[in-house]
Amino acid sequence: MDDIFNIHESESENEEFSDEEENINDDDDNDENDGKENDDNDENDVDNENDINDNDKKNTNGNVKDNRFNLSQFNDVDDKDEKAKEEEGEDKKKKKVKKPLSENKIKKFNVQHQKTGVVYLSKIPPFMKPIKLRHLLSRYAKIGRIYLAAEDEKIAHRRKKYGGNRKRNYTEGWVEFLDKREAKLVVKHLNNHIIGGKKSSWYHDDIWNMKYLHGFKWIHLTERIAYEKAVRAQKLKAEMAQASRESNVIIRNVEKAKMIESMEKRKLEKLQDNEESSVVKKAKVSESNSSNNDSFQNPETIKIIRKYKQRKPVNPEKKTEVINPKQKSVLSKIFS
């Protein structure tokens, strides 16, 4: 029994020893694998460093550039985007180009245009919009274009200023019907009749005022509107030119008046200067005269330089009268 027990113990020890050897061998294998991987990583790092150093050397020599700083890729992308945009723009331009109408389409258009008729509305219900008018008339016939003339801006401004309705109001209008026969029937049945509809509607009690325009097409209306706009613009231009002319005349007159005033001021200043100068001269002359008179009146002030003997003046007009001695004696007796 002891031998058997010893044999089992030895076997168990051998098994444990073999297990330990296997574990040790596995650990050695793992260590070897890790070492190989580390060696491979180190070799890769060294290779990368060598590549970088080689690139740096090449850059310093000026032969080869580093790919990390190469922007040609981005430039190529930008060029591609620009080309794509240009192609899209060309495609859009090509799409915008419209083909000319064919003869058949032109004939159809002319036929449809000849079938149309225009109805004139002399009065539009207050504050009715074109959409509402289309809604009311489209129940009776097919409608094309609608044009409503707005009221004068001055009237609308006055109404809004004094607390009136601030909506837009229209005075007259034109409605194009696609079929002139239907237009005539609509005018015949609706003219001078109430609009109707629900009693609660805003336009229930308003009356239609319509007239069919024979031989009148929408082109005539557009020509008339264009002519009125041109006349209005021409009048406005003429008024502006006249106003500018008047303003220029006023400015010239003002400048002329200022110039005349300045000339008169200068003349007055000159006259005043002349008067002052004449007064000063007179004062100087009077002072000089007074000084001369004083010198004559005061002989002491005069310095006598030389004296000349003067003979008495002879008056040639005096005549020596011869008196008889008899007369002389008589006169002496009288006056003695």
Residue 166 lies in a domain: yes
C-alpha–C-alpha distance, residues 51 and 43, integer Å: 12
The two structure tokens encoding residue 287: 């002072």
Residues 6+ apart with CB under 8 A from 156: 150, 168, 169
Name the average pLDDT for the chain. Answer: 75
| Band of residue 310 on the pLDDT scale cut at 50, 70, 90 | confident
Residue-wise pLDDT for 16-26, tens only, equals 444 544 454 45
Residue 48 lies in a domain: no
pLDDT at 174 over 80: yes
- Predicted local confidence at residue 46, as pLDDT: 45
Residue 99 lies in a domain: no
pLDDT at 9 over 60: no
For residue 144, the domain's CATH number is 3.30.70.330
> Is the separation of the CB atoms in 174 and 147 below 8 Å?
yes
| Band of residue 336 on the pLDDT scale cut at 50, 70, 90 | low
C-alpha–C-alpha distance, residues 183 and 117, integer Å: 6
- Predicted local confidence at residue 67, as pLDDT: 54
C-alpha–C-alpha distance, residues 116 and 143, integer Å: 9
Q: Which amino acid is at 47?
A: D
User: Domain span at residue 201?
Assistant: 115-216
Percent of the chain topping pLDDT 70: 61
Of 51-65, 75-89, 284-298, which range is least confident? 51-65
Residue 25 lies in a domain: no
Average pLDDT on 92-96 reads: 60
Of 98-112, 155-169, 191-205, which range is least confident? 98-112
Query: 3-state DSSP call for residue 215?
Result: coil
For the chain, how many structural domains are there in total?
Answer: 1
Residue 184 lies in a domain: yes
Average pLDDT on 55-76 reads: 50
Beta strands of the chain (E only): which ranges? 117-121, 143-150, 170-177, 210-213
Q: What is the pTM of this model?
A: 0.47
| Band of residue 297 on the pLDDT scale cut at 50, 70, 90 | low
> Is the separation of the CB atoms in 122 and 211 below 8 Å?
yes
| Closest by Cα among 221, 225, 95, 119 to 175 | 119
Residue 5 lies in a domain: no
Residue 134 lies in a domain: yes
- Bridge partners of 177, per DSSP, are 117, 143
The strands making up 210-213's β-sheet, listed across from edge to edge, are 143-150, 170-177, 117-121, 210-213
Print burial letters for 73-111: b (CB count within 10 Å at least 16), e (below 16): eeeeeeeeeeeeeeeeeeeeeeeeeeeeeeeeeeeeeee
C-alpha–C-alpha distance, residues 127 and 257, integer Å: 55
The two structure tokens encoding residue 176: 């194009």
Specify the DSSP class assigned to residue 150.
Answer: E
Residue 76 lies in a domain: no
C-alpha–C-alpha distance, residues 129 and 239, integer Å: 34
pLDDT at 307 over 50: yes
The enclosing H or E element of 184 equals: helix 180-190
| Band of residue 99 on the pLDDT scale cut at 50, 70, 90 | confident
pLDDT at 112 over 80: yes
